A = this chain, B = another copy of it.
Amino acid sequence: MAVTFPEGFLASATTAGIKPSGKPDLCLIALSPGAPDPARQGAAIVLTRNAVVGAPVLVARRVRAAMLSGRGPAPRAVLINSGNSNAATGDRGLRDAQETAALAAARLGVPPEAVLPSSTGVIGRPLPVGKIAEAIPSLVGALARGPEADAAAARAIMTTDLVPKSARASVDLAGHRVRIGAIAKGSGMIAPRLDSAFGPPSPQATMLAFITTDAAVDAPTLQRLIEPACAASFNRISVDNHPSCSDTVAVLASGMARGPGGGPVPPIRPGTPEAEALAAALAGVCQDLAEQVVRDGEGATRTFRVTVRGAATDAAAEAMARQVVDSPLVKCAIHGRDPNWGRIVTAAGNAGHPFDPAEASLTIGPVEVYRAGVPIPAALIDPALAQAMASARVELALTVGRGPGASWMIGCDLSAGYVSINADYTT
């Protein structure tokens, strides 16, 4: 089970006819009916930092601001369509997003702003509101809990994905257990740089992830738990260094886990060991999903992680890791199983941050191939190196100096399949 694994959640999916392929394209995830209690039934939303965003992202920004300031409710449901991103659709797109969400809300019996719209797919075409409106009654009617509903939800949000993606976790909090369930989609336009509701806005695939939990947690607390989880997961993957206009992670909390005595679970307070345990579990689920996304990256045959250590700051290490993970020369070398340390080192050298060759080293799998600015010839003919380059996940560990800064990125190889997928696809 996935999104309906936690207590209090239902899901359903259908084919509204948005995708020309006739595959499922509409999905609803909703809290079970019941009186909303904002202190127990919080939500959190993390969004793309791209300056060009789809209409659902504009709606989500408003919903989030109202929710966090206490001026509006936390969403109780998410209505997701694939096949059309409702981006570059102007004012009409904004009205369409709000109208479809309101139709679902009316059917669910909740306020219009309690349904969060989310869209992925082709850019620049009007959302087929009529088709969605027609599908909503049966979509709401089919809401259910269980493996079938979860699998249908994960499939209905796919676009160029080859496989559906889901994750789940249980975590024990001081005598009671809470659950987390999640689905995600993403294969191309993947390099999420998700924002923070608390920091200054700054710009950046379509990567969508929807997470449910039956923990009792209010919106501001949940928002503060999910943001670091996103920073250490979705923001650490890149398929194509092209963040989308629609990237969205939404979390809904039902507060319906049972407490120690079988009664209501106590609300999670910031800074407590319970908050930390939930944060760790959320981070684990996000990392699981993020790895599934990059593994299903367009044309990918293997993934690689580059860990940079010894930089002046974590941000410098991240900038270096991004140069490596996004270099087409490095990605082709990973595809060709070529331990091309020269491309890796020079990519990191391009980040605009200090790189001290005298203190530098590069290890591929278990084999150190470069140290103090020069390659280690014996390492390059070590069979363990060939084995490391042939593995499904290639591990690169690069030290660039003696600083305290460290970070990592996970990417995928660049294949002829990637070119074929993207040179033939049409807007």
Using a CB–CB cutoff of 8 Å, the interface residues on chain A facing chain B are: 49-53, 87-90, 122-124, 188-189, 193, 202-204, 240-245, 326-330, 332-333, 335-336, 338-343, 345-355, 357, 370, 372-375, 380, 414-416, 418-427
Contacts and interface: CB of A to CB of B under 8 A. Distances in A.
Centre residue among A52, A123, A355 by max chain B CB count within 10 A: A52
B416 A352 contact: no
Given A52-B345, A341-B124, A351 B427 contact: no
Q: Decide if the interface of chain A is mainly helix, strand, loop or mixed.
A: loop
Contacts of A240: 327-329
A421 to B, nearest CB: 8
Given A336-B423, A336-B424, 5 more contacts: A51-B349, A124-B342, A242-B343, A414-B419, A416-B420
B373 A88 contact: yes
A88 B338 contact: no
Contacts of A419: 332, 335, 414-416, 418-419
Given A328-B241, A345-B88, A203 B350 contact: yes
Nearest to A424: B336
A325 to B, nearest CB: 12
A356 B16 CA distance: 33
A339 B242 CA distance: 17
B52 A88 contact: no
Given A240-B328, A419-B414, A51 B373 contact: no
Given A88-B373, A328-B414, A375-B124, A347 B242 contact: yes
A57 to B, nearest CB: 11
A114 to B, nearest CB: 28
Contacts of A353: 51, 203
Contacts of A243: 346, 350
A340 B426 contact: yes
Given A346-B52, A346-B244, A349-B245, A422 B336 contact: yes
A333 B422 contact: yes
